[in-house]
A and B are shown apart, each in its own frame.
Chain A
Amino acid sequence: MFKSTMPEKGRIVHLQFDGEAITAFDGDNLAAALLRSGKVKFRTAAKNDPRGPYCMMGVCFECLVKIDGRPNQQACQITVHDGMIVQRQNAPDSAGKVSG
């Protein structure tokens, strides 16, 4: 599990991940905040294939989540804000229905 390598500081920010309350620090990037809270699974690709952040630089698109209702947000490229509602993003299956 990821942990801080420096003394934690900064204003605490509250968010939700699939309904669960999570705290982060002001200025944190969302992927980092979720990883710090032990969340590694961010979405599913087709066939329920679980995925999580891979590159952290915005090129792999594995970290996609729904933020405040908007799908396909790259968690590694987004800064947290208070009250952010984050959801795992599940890929439509081959029939186009959203699974899970």
Chain B
Amino acid sequence: MARLTGMAATRPVVIIGAGIQGCATAFFLSQRGQSVIVLEKDHVGRHASGVNAGGVRRLGRDIAEIPLSVASMDWWNQIDQLLDIDRGFHRQFYVKVALDDAGADLAFRRIQQLHSAGFQHETWIDRDQLLCRIPHLTKSVFGGVLVEGDGWALPWKITRAFHDKAAALGAQFRTPVTVTSIDKSGEHWQVTTDAGMIETDIVVNCAGAWGTQIAEMTGDVLPIDAYAPMLVITDRQPMFLQSVVGVMGGTLSFKQLDNGSMVIGGGKRGVADAARNLTQIIPAGLSSFVMTAGRVFPHLRDVAILRAWAGIEGYTKDNLPIIGNGSQAGIIHGFGFSAHGFQLGPAVGEALADLAMARQTRVNLTPFSPHRFAVSPDQAAGH
């Protein structure tokens, strides 16, 4: 590939998928004057990036992911200026409450572990302080692990804003266009879609839960599983919460939007049918995390749930995303965010843009290397 490091390629970079990763990558590339074409089989933000819980947190991340998450937070803190929007990021605090001894124990161990790894952002908050900051919390709370400055954002709004800004800077978005094959032709790649073929030097795979199929088209075997985590939204209630709340040792995510509605999730999965873009809600799963919400906020007994939904997301074996160069030159992967990729979006977009322009990335991407799952195609065919 006759291309100078750090320079714009002449052919547009082709990004597959207009979720937050694809849109953010398109934004950073366009900002640097690199032409891009984004191909999206449905519409912008149709999948995980438009329907997720909107949690913007460093709290509770795998240690390997913290530097990337911290880098992303820099972008979140200037997201309004970056994307020309208003109130894009609701900067609050994020707390995982301990509801019993076991929870408190987990919390202490977690904080210690982070400290020995050199991270100070997660701190213990005791019961009284916590009740002072969140008066409606159950009185039987023990305390919690807290990160100042984490918060939430409206997923669709942010994904859309990355799209709008990228488009304004010249990025081309083609929807609905499905990529059906990717083939090497001499020095470059031919990306075939249901609406014609595009030649390019660089393909960025931001296809979310469908990333495995795209990888396969380039000869990379990178298996992920598609699952459909579920969420519910309630009707509007008077404001009582200015933070995002989870539980230690459990999987709750609880926030109140500025219109008063609450978004509640909790790791429970519905049925995902990625091939047909379908999800199904499992009632018992909803019930389980709503009960957890009740243990944290018992006063919400009579609040009504208006809708439940699920989004399709790709999960890797180690729950860390796949970010990095593929086995062939010109192929870059960024998918498999395992249900915590929304917050990472801005930093991932920047990193993928760096890779596409063969620049040094700000964050070391080694923990996310696609090659950690390396299996040869023969091996893969074997099972």
Contacts and interface: CB of A to CB of B under 8 A. Distances in A.
Interface of A: 70-72, 91-92, 94-98
B236 A72 contact: no
B238 A97 contact: yes
B239 A97 contact: yes
Contact of B302 (A72, A94, A95, A98): A72
Interface size band for B: 10 to 19
A95 B237 CA distance: 10
A96 B260 contact: yes
Contact of B235 (A72, A94, A98): A72
A92 B236 CA distance: 7
Given A72-B235, A96-B256, 16 more contacts: A71-B302, A72-B302, A72-B304, A92-B237, A92-B239, A92-B260, A94-B259, A95-B258, A96-B237, A96-B238, A96-B258, A96-B259, A96-B260, A97-B238, A97-B239, A98-B238
Contacts, number: 27
B239 A91 contact: no
Contacts of A70: 302
Contacts of B237: 92, 96
Q: In this complex, which of A72, A91, A92 has the most chain B Cβ atoms within 10 angstroms of its Cβ?
A: A92
Interface string B242-270: 00000000000000101110000000000
B239 A96 contact: yes
Contacts of B239: 92, 95-97
A22 to B, nearest CB: 23
Interface of B: 235-239, 256, 258-260, 302, 304
Nearest to B258: A96
A94 B369 CA distance: 45
A50 B69 CA distance: 46
A96 B235 CA distance: 11
B236 A91 contact: yes
Contacts of B302: 70-72
A95 B235 CA distance: 14
A72 B300 CA distance: 13
B267 to A, nearest CB: 27
A25 to B, nearest CB: 27
Contacts of B258: 94-96
Contacts of B236: 91-92, 96
A63 to B, nearest CB: 14
B87 to A, nearest CB: 12
Contacts of A72: 235, 302, 304
Nearest to B236: A92
Contacts of A98: 238
A24 B50 CA distance: 49
B303 to A, nearest CB: 8
A70 B237 CA distance: 12
A74 to B, nearest CB: 11
A3 to B, nearest CB: 33
Nearest to A94: B259
17 contacts: A71-B302, A72-B235, A72-B302, A72-B304, A91-B236, A92-B236, A92-B239, A92-B260, A94-B259, A95-B258, A96-B236, A96-B238, A96-B256, A96-B258, A96-B260, A97-B238, A98-B238
B139 to A, nearest CB: 21
Nearest to B239: A96
